[in-house]
Structure 1
Amino acid sequence: MFDGSLPHCFNRLSSLKLLDISSNRFTGLLTPSPIANLTSLEYIDFRYNSFEGTFSFSSLSNNAKLEVVRFVSNNSKFEVETEEPIGWIPTFQLKVLVLSGCNTNRRKGSFVPRFLLHQSQLQEIDLSHNSLVGPFPNWLIENNTMLQGLILSNNTFSGIIRMPFYMNANTKWLDMSRNHMNGTIPNDIHKFLPKLNYLNLSSNSLDGVISSSIGDMSELWALDLSDNELSGELPKGLFTNIPYLGMLKLSKNRLHGQVLSGNISLGNIERLHLDSNCFTGNIGNWNISFPYWWGLQRLDIGNNFFTGMIPHWLSNMSTLSELTVRNNSFEGPFPCGSASFKFLDISENSFSGTIPSCFSLTNMKHLHLGSNRFTGSIPDAFCNLTDVLTLDIGNNYLSGRIPKFLGKLSDLRILILRNNSFSGSIPKQLCQLSNVSLIDLSSNSLSGTIPRCLHNIISPIYPTFIELRVENEHTSFYNYERVLDHELYSYYVWEDIEIPDEVHFTTKTLSYIYKGRLLDLMVGLDLSCNRLTGKIPEELGLLNQIHSLNLSHNQLSGPIPVNFSNLANIESLDLSSNNLIGEVPSELIKLNTLAVFNVSYNNLSGRLPEMKAQFATFSKESYEGNPLLCGPPLEKKCTSQVNDPSTKEGNDKWHDIDMVSFYGSSGATLVVFLLGFAAVLYINPYWRRRWLDFVEECMYTFYYFLEDSVRKPSRLFRK
């Protein structure tokens, strides 16, 4: 936790061999004065601090014994200059050079440091995250015969990958991911780099087929060729010749073929990613004999064209914890088994029957069963999903009531039940889900009122879905033992991204895919397309973290709650196709993040809010179907009477009248009228006589009318 500038008194330590200040909070300029006189210095490590300005490698001219230099910075204000002065040739011979995220030579052109042409004993080079340009620097491998690791990821290298002129049997680690390399993977890579353990060429523009020679790299344990433009079928040697593959990742290419059909051996693969390709066929009989304790732990074959049924043995693999078959054409029931899944995504297929619940659910964190043909109700066994974070069973043919026990799944963050046939009311127990961020109950047959306690659901304050990156260390590439009789290991970290969680959620009238860390940011509630009645609870105005609220296509009545103006983060608010009355609250103008607002097809009346801030962006389509609304952007203008505050009392609608007062005043008026009429007759004898004559005449008229009405039918009957 040290901070401040690097002390200048360090330059008095003339016998110092090792200087490691990594992972602190040092700031300011990294001037050469503290280390320029340290002529015995062999090892410096300045990683992970907050230095600013420029550090020049020429300031190390006196440090002829240097072997290890490490700079790693995430600060855009820090730059390492390696090419100054012109013609400078270093006196040291490095064994380890780490310059990651250091904006190397930003002002003079980001090329590979030229002083490396004079280095011949390097064992580790890390120049990642520097925006370096140029062709693949194969000369780094040629000049340094002891080179074990070359990391050039996240730069701007382009052109084709060229192998060195001679075999380098020491290179074990090559990472050229996230660059602009094109062309094909060299066919002779196994000849020039036969001892490779880790090969990462992902996120480039490589095309062509995967050479069968990669299957001859017997010591390879991690291969990542994802996110390229590779095509063709996979060489069989990838599954048979390599003794152990900790990771085989071929995602996001154009590979095809029936890669999983027939009898194949996968006992040597721990994590297999074949997703987002054009693979076809069914899953055959795999020969999975585990020579080691690990076995197949992760299988992702989503977004392909696989067909058939899922075999029972796949659900019985005790080592398999993550399975994704999303967006294929699998059908039939999903088999139960002994596998204890942590991540299961079988969505967007044609699985049928009841929801499988006979496998272990205690370790499940992400369960995706949506967009299939499942029928029946939610099984009672789902009450054992005590650790679940995501539960998506939407877009099926499920029925019955929403179980109350879902409210006891205290860790639940995402609940998707949309587009089924669930009936009954919304259980109040869902209000116990205090960590939930997305609830989608839309397009069902839910009835009753909206529970007022739903304001208890809040946006989680701790991240969950960003914790998807697994770091795997590979040590002993370089052992530094000469200082203080202490071993200092140089190791590489390879990032293995777990299968990211992914859900569909409708907001701003469109269905979006929220994936990975975006799920920590999105907060939404969708109760649309049901049969909900009653007023909108004012308590929903307390959801100040919500981004999307959709209550449309129900039978809700009453006014729009004024305290919806407290929804400070709302981006989409849809209350359309209900029976809402009253005015559109002018206080909603305060919603500065509101992008979509829809109150169409209700019974709203009065003047619309002023066209200010976000309300200036809403068109008349947001208000159509409300004939009593007026003002811009509608064509109907508000009359002066409506605008005159002095006539406001005369504009009250019948539904705003206090009926108790109305009946009371009407009855009192009638009583006063009758008493006044009786008093007039009592005082004036002439009017009294006229009134009695009028009553007598009415009685005779009514009598003769009845007599004629009775006699006329009897005469007709006699005739």
Structure 2
Amino acid sequence: MANLCFHIPFPLFSLLCLMVCFTLCHANFTMNDELALLAFKFSVKDPYNHLANWSNSSSICKWVGIMCDAHHERVIALNLGEMGLKGTLPSKIGNLSFLVELDLHSNNLYGDLPKELIQLKKLQILNLSYNEFNGEIPIWIGSLFTLQHFHLCNNSFGGVIPKSVSKLSKLKTLDWNDNFIEGVIPFQIGTLQCLKILRFAGNKLFGRIPPTISNLSSLELLSLSYNSLTGDIPKTISTLTNLKFIYLSVNMLSGIIPRSIGNLTKLQKLELDHNNFEGDIPKEIGNLKSLEILYFGGNKFSAQIPSTIFNISELRKIDLSWNNLSGDIPSDICNGIPNLQNLALQENKLFNAIPSGWTQCKELEIITLNYNLFTGMYYSLSNL
């Protein structure tokens, strides 16, 4: 029998090799994703059987909580929030190299964050909120350069805020509320030019609010309440003209409220209650025409309540209680703030007659005026 010899041209041979290599590499990467996901499944308890279809008998792209890239069939999102899962994050989670979103919020996951997370070079969303993670927030988080939304709130993280967070230049949301983080807020935070939401409330932070916070030109929400912060509010905060929400309640802040706060014309909520602020309430607050909530209670403010406050038509809730405010209340109070629902003025030194104009406050639900120096008839809600 004659020998049959086939000659394959080199270009065609090269193409065939590339095709075989691509097929094998693609299969290998897909297998890595599958092994990483199965490692996660075996590291947690799943009391409600949400992960029942996580089996190699079906494509991983059809598994619950998984989203794949249509072109490469690689896992790009792992979304398992609110599933009652209990356990730890396995190190193999770092093998999901195409992962863009990792959302495990509202479970019962615990332990440290595995260092292998730094292998997720495409990660944009990391949401581990409302779990039981603990330990210090590691320095290596600064290597997650593509991260845009970083949620760790309501866990048990301790230690300090790592300065390396300043390397996350694309960050838009930094939400670490309600943990046990201590120390000072590093001034390097001021480099996060894209940051819109900064939430460190409910921790153990102390020291001053860093003046570099005024560099966060995109900031819309600042939440630092329930800490032990001291010092005054940086005057340069007035440059953050995109701010809509300021929450600084329950700290040990002091000094006066800068008059330039009136520049923050987009503000909807301004909560500075239960601190040690003093002096007068600046009349420039009347410039905040979008303001709905004003909480200044539990401070040391004195002098009269500026009349400009009573012309902010969007105001719904005002708390100026537990201060040293004097003077009277405008008789036509409800003409300027028709949407008023809650007014707390107790424990001050307000005097003269209680205005009868309450009858024009159609939305009013709660008035507290006790422990002042008022005279005349008290108009309770039943009179309105």
Q: 1:459 aligns with which of 238, 242, 245?
A: 242
Q: 1:273 to 1:411 in 2, by over 3 A?
A: farther
Which structure 2 residues correspond to residues 707-718 of structure 1 after superposition, within 5 A?
none
Q: What is aligned with 1:356?
A: 138
Q: 2:153 aligns with which of 367, 370, 375?
A: 370
Letter paired with 1:389: K
Which structure 2 residues correspond to residues 174-253 of structure 1 after superposition, within 5 A?
none
Q: 1:609 aligns with which of 308, 326, 330?
A: 330
* Equivalent-residue separation in structure 1 for 2:217 and 2:250 (angstroms): 25
1:339 equivalent to 2:120? Answer yes
1:667-688: CA deviation from partner (whole Å, max 9, x where unpaired): xxxxxxxxxxxxxxxxxxxxxx
| 2:267 and 2:288 in contact (8 A); partners too | yes
1:79-125: CA deviation from partner (whole Å, max 9, x where unpaired): xxxxxxxxxxxxxxxxxxxxxxxxxxxxxxxxxxxxxxxxxxxxxxx
| 1:333 and 1:351 in contact (8 A); partners too | yes
1:588 equivalent to 2:302? Answer no
Q: What is aligned with 2:200?
A: 417
How many residues align structurally?
A: 309
Show structure 1 runs of 5+ residues with no match.
1-254, 276-289, 461-522, 640-719
1:449-482: CA deviation from partner (whole Å, max 9, x where unpaired): 111110111228xxxxxxxxxxxxxxxxxxxxxx
1:626 equivalent to 2:327? Answer no
1:257 equivalent to 2:48? Answer yes
Q: 1:614 to 1:259 in 2, by over 3 A?
A: same
Q: 2:92 aligns with which of 303, 313, 336?
A: 313
Per the alignment, in what secondary structure is the counterpart of residue 331 of structure 1?
Answer: strand
Q: 1:628 to 1:379 in 2, by over 3 A?
A: same
Q: 1:559 to 1:291 in 2, by over 3 A?
A: closer
1:296 equivalent to 2:75? Answer yes
Which structure 2 residues correspond to residues 13-412 of structure 1 after superposition, within 5 A?
257-260=48-51, 264-265=55-56, 268-270=59-61, 274=65, 293-337=72-116, 338-340=119-121, 341-358=123-140, 360-412=143-195
Q: What is aligned with 2:223?
A: 440
Letter paired with 2:233: I
Q: What is aligned with 1:570?
A: 291
Q: What is aligned with 2:211?
A: 428
Shift of 1:262: 10
Q: 1:358 to 1:272 in 2, by over 3 A?
A: farther
Point out which structure has higher relative CO (alpha carbons under 8 A, 6+ apart): 2
* Equivalent-residue separation in structure 2 for 1:266 and 1:623 (angstroms): 67
Normalising by structure 1, report the TM-score.
0.41
| 1:558 and 1:581 in contact (8 A); partners too | yes
Which structure 2 residues correspond to residues 640-659 of structure 1 after superposition, within 5 A?
none
Shift of 1:604: 0.3
Per the alignment, in what secondary structure is the counterpart of residue 265 of structure 1?
Answer: coil
* Equivalent-residue separation in structure 1 for 2:313 and 2:163 (angstroms): 44
Normalising by structure 2, report the TM-score.
0.74
Letter paired with 1:303: E
Q: What is aligned with 2:277?
A: 556
| 2:187 and 2:213 in contact (8 A); partners too | yes
| 1:575 and 1:599 in contact (8 A); partners too | yes
* Equivalent-residue separation in structure 2 for 1:331 and 1:576 (angstroms): 38
* Equivalent-residue separation in structure 1 for 2:229 and 2:297 (angstroms): 17
Q: 1:414 to 1:617 in 2, by over 3 A?
A: closer
* Equivalent-residue separation in structure 1 for 2:54 and 2:139 (angstroms): 29
What's the C-alpha RMSD, in Å, of the aligned pairs? Answer: 2.7
| 2:318 and 2:343 in contact (8 A); partners too | no
> Aligned residues: percent identity?
30
| 2:241 and 2:263 in contact (8 A); partners too | no
| 1:267 and 1:291 in contact (8 A); partners too | no
Q: What is aligned with 1:468?
A: none
Per the alignment, in what secondary structure is the counterpart of residue 115 of structure 2?
Answer: coil
Per the alignment, in what secondary structure is the counterpart of residue 260 of structure 2?
Answer: helix
Shift of 1:376: 0.3
Per the alignment, in what secondary structure is the counterpart of residue 353 of structure 1?
Answer: strand
Letter paired with 2:153: G
* Equivalent-residue separation in structure 1 for 2:177 and 2:57 (angstroms): 33
Letter paired with 1:612: C
Q: 1:532 aligns with which of 245, 253, 263?
A: 253
Q: 1:619 to 1:415 in 2, by over 3 A?
A: closer
| 1:575 and 1:598 in contact (8 A); partners too | yes
Shift of 1:273: 5.8
1:193-232: CA deviation from partner (whole Å, max 9, x where unpaired): xxxxxxxxxxxxxxxxxxxxxxxxxxxxxxxxxxxxxxxx
